[in-house]
Amino acid sequence: MGVGGATAVIAGCEKKPEKLIPMLVPPTDYEYTPQTAYQYMTTCRECDAACGMMITTREHRAQKAEGNPNHPLNQGTLCARGQASLQSLYNPNRHAFPLADGKQIPWEEGIQQFSAIIKAASGAIAYLGKPASGSEGRFVDEWLKAAGGGQRVKFNLLTQNSQTAANKIAFNRADIPEYAFEKAGIILNFSADFLETWGNSVENARRFTDMHVYKNGKKNRFIHISPHVSLTGAKADRWIVINPGTEGLVALAIAAVMREKNGSHKFLKNYLAAYTPEKVTEATGVSVEVMRELANDAMEHGPVLALGGGNVSATDQSVETLVAVNILNSVSGALDKTIRFYNQTVPESSTHQDLTQLISDLEAGKIKLLIIDDSNPVYALPPSMGFKQALKNAFVVSMASQKSETSHLANLVLPALTAYESWGDAFPRSGVRSIQQPVMSTVNTFDAKAREDVLLSVAQNVNKKAFPGNSSYLDYLQNIWKRIQREVGDKRKFDSFWISVLENGGFFENSKYKRVTLSRKVTSVKVNDPGLIGKDGLTLLPTTSLLIGDGSGANKPWLQEVPHPMSQIVWDSWVEINPDTAQKLGINDRAIIEVTTPHGSVNATAYYHFGIHRNAIAIPMGQGHQNSGDVADGFGINVMNLLSGRMDNAGNFALVDTQATLKMVNEKSYTVNTDGNARQLGRDIAAATTVEELNSGGEKHGGHKRPVEFYPDRSETAGYYKPYRWGMTIDLDRCNGCSACVVACYAENNIPVVGKVRTALGREMSWIRMERYIEGYGDDFETRFSPMLCQHCGNAGCETVCPVYATYHNPEGLNAMIYNRCVGTRYCSNNCAYKVRRFNWFDYEFPSPLDQQLNSTITTREVGVMEKCTFCVQRIQTAKYDAKNLGRDLEDGEVVTACQQTCPTKAITFGNLMDTESKVSKNALRDETEKRDRQYEVLAELNYKPAITYLKKVNTRVVLGHESDRHDSQEQEETHG
């Protein structure tokens, strides 16, 4: 035994020798090199959109999710939920072992029990699962047949089924078409939250931005026609406030004016005559002039793209509303231009009507065995439907990976694998076949099996003839892909086809389209005023959050910790209420209010929001869990408890048909928001300009002239900026506040989650934050977003005050932060004008197995150390080493930061400012014509010389009450926290 003194004594801390654990047998060279990133393509299963993912694994542990660059839907980018899908995989609250009535049992016993109950049920089986676009649905159908019969019930809380029903009526296609945002000249949006949860938000954001961004001196317009301004509405050029549930009437009124002028669709003449602006103005609350103006705008600036659907317009007449939107699209000539239907067999969808049937079947005892996958109906269905009680009438087998309210009530829990560990596929639309492959072996703390594999072996237990020749779901899947190979006419051996599918993340072809025309049947569809405004109380709008979604995101620490971009509230639910209404009712901002509907009552925090109709309140879905794990339980409230469970004609929940009354319970609440002040107070942090200003040709407004200085600039000093000076540009005209960058940064940089209490103390650790500012007052207000991160200043405030030289300006222009030098004085943070430095007040925990996600190429910080954005220096270093070994310098685009990589709208550019040809230089260079007048630096007057150049948001209007003429409006300030 040697003496471990030398290092230990001098270093001043005792250290146990570490162990070096070798592998028994290494994988082949191609699959394993330690500390080296390997990428695998797969499909994201967090929502139904089926984006392609590229998972970075190191030491065979998935550490970072990125978009699959080959995938036609998301093209390399991901949303916040996709980024956080890693926390489905490593969630400490996953089911770790099979449970029978809450007690741990071995797998063999679980399978035995399951087989026995299938035999006993003899066909009285129901399988409740998500609608599947891929092979899974077909597999379950065949499985039910093999297991002796039964029915598959499809369930999804957020469904686009009303849209397919409306499309069936209008175009005889029960399908969701392609929305070609980029081809539109003007978007009329009837309450669809297309940047959040409506359709594929990543693809929508990309295509919408292509259309909406300022280019060639022009900006196409986006009109939000809705009772509620969501994150999507915040990006609109104009918000038209309408009464809840009257989207269809406004759409028809606009269609009526347009048809009169362009004379198309003669058969609609009489039909639309009943919906002229004059006739609907009272019901909708929109003036005749505004509707005529919208129609004229639409005709002038077309092609039009009218969108409808989503939660806020989901009244009991949502099918009629969506037919009205279809009529508007047809009349304006959007069909086959901005809206194209696919020539495809329609992917599966679900209605909530199926659930009603299931519940009555359960109550009647017609179902003996109910199998439920990862969906969570006990949480998602309004309690008045009685699903929870009906469960008692059957033996419930939960095959979920995550703990939930539903699996909590199951008699038998057979833990399933997540999408990261199992096989699957998805065919979200014509020409897109996306594969889901295991990117790593099962997380070692969970004794789980793939759902399909368990089903398969159980079926073969009870029925010898089931699935002949298939020993696992992979065999089944490969058989389907063999058929696909024949269909697409691929002549290779299957093995090479299969490998190319796995390498590309699927098989992608151009989509096939089918022309459609408006059916004459639409004239029989009567669009009525739901009359929600006339009723007592305030109309309750259950909105969706782009972070938590339908509630499945609530058990992921990142999604709870990242502030909701609109409200900036963390770990909570809130009730959005118009300040005018609130003051009439005597309700303070951030007061606890009791919200009562005929179906239930909850206590939640009031949040003043200009962007909501004065006779409505909005509560986001997805919080208020009870048995979904430590991170989800007890935060916020479940809005579904307030709803009736009534449905529209397509059998989907009429989410908007409940009136609520409010009562203030307590003047103050413990709600935590990170924004501090919603107002810029003249600081112009998120700056904007207008199209007119940019085109005025007068004196240019952008670009900051720096003062002449006594000292030479750093770039002139030898040793600096040769050959790289890293810089970034952020285009606020492209940014829509989706916060995917924030979650990506958490994932890439091992940023700890601190929880609600510590966030309240200002100890959140996010390196990049989505700042949200509000301009103007009342209905004419504007929301601005600005991602704020370390500016890597050339003349930084933090560097000069560090007593130990832990932070300094690196020769490549990075504001370096050396953790091991830092002694924790926090002077740097105090002297940082941008407030982007974070201090480790504790040794933060990454509860196992979340620690397996930690990026092993960087240091995980300890207590007492300052940290902040590094411009992903680990990515810079890795790329530099690779380039050096190839004998060259770095090229433009070789280093991509995590935030830039995931941005669906490509708002962030990163690169070398010394290379005048690089993309970032072109965006940041001050003499470049296109962007010249939009460039600015945040707080430039401090002369910190930030390396980040922002490009101003481009508005089409100037809101009244802009900060510059209202510096003294303290009173107004307080009304809007």
3 near another protein, judged by CB under 8 A: yes
CB of 802 to another protein, least distance (A): 12
- The stretch near another protein (CB under 8 A) out of 25-33, 84-92, 244-252, 953-961 is 25-33
- Looking at residues 29 to 88 of the shown chain, list those that interact with another protein (rule: CB under 8 A): 33-36
Binding residue (CB under 8 A) for another protein from 486, 584, 668, 722:
722
Secondary structure class of 308 (helix, strand, coil): strand
Contact 488, 508 (CB under 8 A): no
- The stretch near another protein (CB under 8 A) out of 19-27, 195-203, 325-333, 452-460 is 19-27
Residue 595: phi and psi, rounded to 5, are -100, 120
818 near another protein, judged by CB under 8 A: yes
What 8-state DSSP symbol labels residue 384? G
Q: Which residues contact 936 (CB under 8 A, 6 or more apart)?
A: 684, 687, 702, 703, 704, 949, 950, 951, 952
- The stretch near another protein (CB under 8 A) out of 16-24, 342-350, 355-363, 758-766 is 16-24
CB of 8 to another protein, least distance (A): 8
Which residue, 20 or 971, is less far from another protein as judged by CB?
A: 20
Which residue, 60 or 215, is less far from another protein as judged by CB?
A: 60
712 near another protein, judged by CB under 8 A: yes
CB of 667 to another protein, least distance (A): 47
CB of 742 to another protein, least distance (A): 21
709 near another protein, judged by CB under 8 A: no
Structure tokens at 217: 């001196």
- ∠ Cα 698 699 702 (to 5°): 125
Which residue, 525 or 802, is less far from another protein as judged by CB?
A: 802
DSSP structure string for 786-801? EEE-----TT-HHHHH
- The stretch near another protein (CB under 8 A) out of 15-23, 88-96, 624-632, 838-846 is 15-23
- The stretch near another protein (CB under 8 A) out of 270-278, 558-566, 677-685, 870-878 is 870-878
Residue 753: phi and psi, rounded to 5, are -95, 130
855 vs 791: CA distance, rounded Å: 23
2 near another protein, judged by CB under 8 A: yes
Strand-pairing partners, residue 543, are: 620
The neighbour count for residue 885, using CB atoms within 10 Å, is: 8
Which residue, 475 or 889, is less far from another protein as judged by CB?
A: 889
**How far, in Å, are 160, 356, 475, 481 from residue 249 at the CA level?**
20, 30, 52, 46
CB of 806 to another protein, least distance (A): 9
Binding residue (CB under 8 A) for another protein from 284, 406, 485, 870:
870
Tell me which residue of 287, 336, 365 sits closest to 124, measured CA to CA.
Answer: 365
CB of 861 to another protein, least distance (A): 9
24 near another protein, judged by CB under 8 A: yes
Torsion-angle region of 494 (φ positive above 0: left; ψ -120 to 50: alpha; else: beta): alpha
CB of 856 to another protein, least distance (A): 9
Binding residue (CB under 8 A) for another protein from 21, 216, 345, 968:
21
Beta strands in 811-930 (DSSP E): 815-817, 838-839, 866-867, 908-912
Contact 851, 779 (CB under 8 A): no
- The stretch near another protein (CB under 8 A) out of 258-266, 350-358, 817-825, 960-968 is 817-825
- Looking at residues 769 to 808 of the shown chain, list those that interact with another protein (rule: CB under 8 A): 808
819 near another protein, judged by CB under 8 A: yes
858 near another protein, judged by CB under 8 A: yes
* Burial class (CB within 10 angstroms; exposed 0-12, middle 13-18, buried 19+) of 691: middle
What 8-state DSSP symbol labels residue 184? -
Residue 756: phi and psi, rounded to 5, are -65, -45
9 near another protein, judged by CB under 8 A: yes
Count interface residues toward another protein (CB under 8 A).
Answer: 58
In this structure, the chain runs to a length of 977
* Dihedral, 543, 208, 161, 426 alpha carbons, nearest 10: -110
- Segment (H or E) for 55: strand 52-58
- The stretch near another protein (CB under 8 A) out of 85-93, 443-451, 607-615, 719-727 is 719-727
Which residue, 517 or 877, is less far from another protein as judged by CB?
A: 877
Residues 876-915: x/- map of binding to another protein (CB under 8 A)? -x--xx-xxx-xxx--------------------------
441 near another protein, judged by CB under 8 A: no
* Burial class (CB within 10 angstroms; exposed 0-12, middle 13-18, buried 19+) of 601: middle
Which residue, 263 or 712, is less far from another protein as judged by CB?
A: 712
Q: Which amino acid is at 585?
A: L
What 8-state DSSP symbol labels residue 545? B
Residues that bind another protein (CB under 8 A): 1-7, 9-10, 17-26, 33-36, 711-712, 716-720, 722-723, 808, 810-812, 814, 816, 818-821, 857-860, 870, 873-874, 877, 880-881, 883-885, 887-889
